[in-house]
């Protein structure tokens, strides 16, 4: 299996150089080559952005927790023009419908089923999946659940589902359920409202250095909605209850052993801080035992490196896509 590659930092001005250093000179999709896309689902619609040609089966791209498909707005333009990408807003995120009242979000399990729903609806074969953070956990789980139907798996700063110790999950269940019920009954009139400038600063501070101001403005194009007094968050508040349905380390490794497709894993350095610092490497090592081919590359950047510094990420994805 492929060994880790360590990428060096580059500036935006060095895009062409960064591409040629790994032998790439492919035409790119470009920043205006997209249109809105909507998928009918039983609870409403799943919204997204389709990059590139509508006549090609797209790479399906999934964003992270409480982000939206704008997460890929700076990466997709740098990908090869021969490919199409469908970046979706997960349920309750961005412009996608929220779940009906009374329903809970089991964000990992729901997401796997959503991918399956989309694949079956369009009768896609040998799919290629791209995920960041939560989205990468979902694509990982899908590749494990349908190992003969995934061609390539590309994950950014995530190896597999976030794991929790069983004691921590047991101790937090009651609090999570009460929190869910509180959010469910909170009227919009009591939800915090902000000016545009306040919203941008609030989100920038909340991401704690993972994104810059320009990236926040991109995310908030789909991440907030206006009301009479200013702006509210567009995402479903119930998404903030994320503890339910998490995985143990043993479960995640069992799913890793199921994956057979070609894998590209891009780890941000320093990237996200995980509860278990060694588990990321353990998942990658497990993947190498069964998957067709595993490429693991470390790239300087934050957890949102694909959004903040896409020019560092795109060449590795392009090389992986073009390598048959």
Q: Going residue by residue through the chain, which has 324 residues, state the pLDDT in tens, using 9 for 90 and above.
A: 433 444 433 333 333 333 434 555 789 999 999 999 999 999 999 999 999 999 999 999 999 999 999 999 999 999 999 999 999 999 999 999 999 999 999 989 999 999 999 999 999 999 999 999 999 999 999 999 999 999 999 999 999 998 888 898 899 999 999 999 999 999 988 899 999 999 999 999 999 999 999 999 999 999 999 998 899 999 999 999 987 788 999 999 999 999 999 999 999 999 999 878 899 999 999 999 999 999 999 999 999 999 999 999 999 999 999 997
Phi–psi pair at 206, nearest 5 degrees? -65, -30
Spatial CB neighbours of 13, under 8 Å, sequence gap ≥ 6 = none
Interval 244-289: pLDDT, tens = 788 999 999 999 999 999 999 999 999 999 878 899 999 999 999 9
Q: What is the rounded CA–CA span in Å between residue 171 and residue 166?
A: 9
Q: What CA–CA distance (Å, rounded) separates 256 from 140?
A: 8
Active-site positions read: 133
Q: Are 224 and 180 in contact (CB under 8 A)?
A: no
Question: What is the C-alpha to C-alpha distance for residues 317 and 299, in angstroms, rounded to an integer?
Answer: 12
Q: Own/partner pairs for 29-38, CB < 8 Å, 24+ apart?
A: 29/76, 29/77, 29/78, 29/79, 29/80, 29/81, 29/83, 29/85, 30/77, 30/81, 31/73, 31/77, 33/77, 33/81, 34/76, 37/86, 37/88
pLDDT tens for 99-109 read: 999 999 998 99
* Alpha carbon distance 34, 75 (integer Å): 13
Residue 90 confidence (pLDDT)? 98
pTM across the whole model: 0.92
**Alpha-carbon gap, residue 16 to 18, rounded angstroms:** 5
Tell me how far apart the terminal alpha carbons of the chain are, to the nearest angstrom: 15
Check if the beta carbon of residue 248 is closer than 8 Å to that of residue 278. no
Which residues touch 15 (CB under 8 Å, ≥6 apart)?
Answer: 78, 311
The pLDDT score that the predictor gives to residue 15 is 34
Query: Residue 53: its pLDDT value, please?
Result: 97
DSSP letter string, 164-200:
--HHHHHHHHHHHHHHHHHHHT--GGGS--B-HHHHH
Task: Classify residue 59 by its DSSP letter.
Answer: E
Cα 98 from chain centre: 18
224-227 vs 230-233, strand pairing mode: antiparallel
């Amino acid at each position: 299996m492929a060994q880790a590659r360590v990428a060096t930092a580059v500036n935006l001005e060095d895009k062409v150089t960064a591409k040629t250093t790994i032998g790439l000179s492919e035409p790119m999709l470009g920043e205006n080559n997209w249109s809105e896309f909507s998928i009918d689902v039983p609870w409403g619609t799943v919204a997204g952005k389709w990059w590139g040609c509508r006549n090609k089966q797209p790479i399906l791209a999934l964003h992270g927790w409480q982000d939206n498909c704008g997460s890929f707005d700076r990466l997709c333009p740098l990908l090869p023009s021969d490919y199409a990408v469908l970046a979706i807003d997960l349920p309750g995120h961005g412009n996608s419908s929220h779940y009906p009242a009374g329903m809970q979000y089991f964000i990992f399990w729901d997401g796997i089923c959503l991918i399956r729903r989309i694949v079956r609806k369009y009768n896609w074969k040998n799919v290629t999946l791209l995920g960041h953070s939560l989205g990468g956990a979902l694509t990982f789980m899908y590749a494990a659940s349908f190992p003969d139907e995934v061609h390539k798996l590309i994950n950014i700063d995530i190896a597999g589902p976030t794991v929790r110790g069983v004691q921590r999950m047991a101790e937090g269940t009651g609090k999570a359920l009460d929190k869910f019920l509180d959010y469910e009954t909170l009227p919009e009139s009591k939800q915090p409202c902000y000016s545009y400038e306040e919203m941008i600063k609030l989100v920038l501070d909340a991401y704690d250095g993972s994104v810059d101001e320009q990236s926040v403005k991109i995310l908030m194009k789909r991440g907030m909605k206006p009301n009479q007094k200013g702006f509210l968050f567009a995402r479903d508040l119930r998404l903030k209850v994320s503890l339910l349905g998490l995985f143990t380390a043993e479960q995640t490794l069992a799913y890793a052993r199921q994956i057979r497709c070609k894998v590209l894993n891009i780890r941000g350095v320093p990237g996200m801080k995980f509860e278990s610092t060694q588990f990321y490497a353990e998942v990658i090592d497990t993947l190498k035992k069964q998957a067709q081919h595993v490429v693991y590359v470390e790239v300087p950047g934050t957890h949102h490196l694909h959004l903040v510094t896409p020019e560092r990420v795109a060449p590795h994805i392009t090389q992986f896509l073009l390598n048959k």
